Structure 1
Amino acid sequence: AIAHTADLQDRGSGVLLVAILFGLFSSLRKLYADGGYRGRVFQKALKRVLRQVDLEIVKRSDHANGFEVLPRRRIVERTIGRLNRCRRLAKDWGNLNQKTRAFLRFASIHLMLQKLCYPTWCCQTESYPKSTAHD
């Protein structure tokens, strides 16, 4: 995870994030991104760093009226929603990026433990099994 100051746009840090992901997951071939990464600067930088990654921008239809479910966007929103259940990520705005990264890791570990301990949990719409405690 990358936590940076609010004055840096996602487009600016996106290539760094993808480079880190590729270092960890060298088999990465497809990247889905939202419309914020549509610019040529990001796409050129991505091709310069990772030539083999195919970028697909998930965007709304020009003819859409109101809310529209976007393909693959559901996965991203679900993950962010689950991570925001961690109070320190949702309510506390830390001064140090290291703390934010640490709590992001803790929340991710918690999600993975939920999936391992309760295999059906990841397929349910309910937030947590009734028997577990979380903050």
Structure 2
Amino acid sequence: MWTADQRGRMARIARKTKRYPSDLTDEVWDRMAPLMPAPGRRGRPREVEFREVINAVRYLVRSGGGWRMLPIHFGHWRTVYGWFRELARRFLFQTIHDVELILDRERAGREASPKGAVIDSQTIKAPQAEARGYDAGKKIIRRKRHIAVDTTGGS
């Protein structure tokens, strides 16, 4: 028969075990956890672990599946989707990106903010696009896209 101690031990093992290649490692989660919203002081206690929400979003991005195809052990897809919308509304994903970029630059021995960047453009075919332009240099109707990157390749 299972005891509470055994269940807790198995839960800790399950949290450490990566089920999918897209799952967060403990060290990455340790950097992300302080950025997650604190639980509210009123209302029902939160039942969702943000690590599982982030794992679910990463799984969907990597697999290309839809919300309704989310494996059930991440939680119900509507719950995960609701938290995804809330975290996106708070610009949490942009914040995580910016923090990781700064930490990556510092690990590479560079300053946290880049001093310079390279700007480049590319002309792509877009015959069905609503807004398109004429590239006089190439004498064709296409769209132009631009990107700016720092010296380590971060956008």
- TM-score grouping bracket, smaller chain normalisation: under 0.3
RCO comparison, higher one (Cα < 8 Å, 6+): 1
Higher strand share: 2
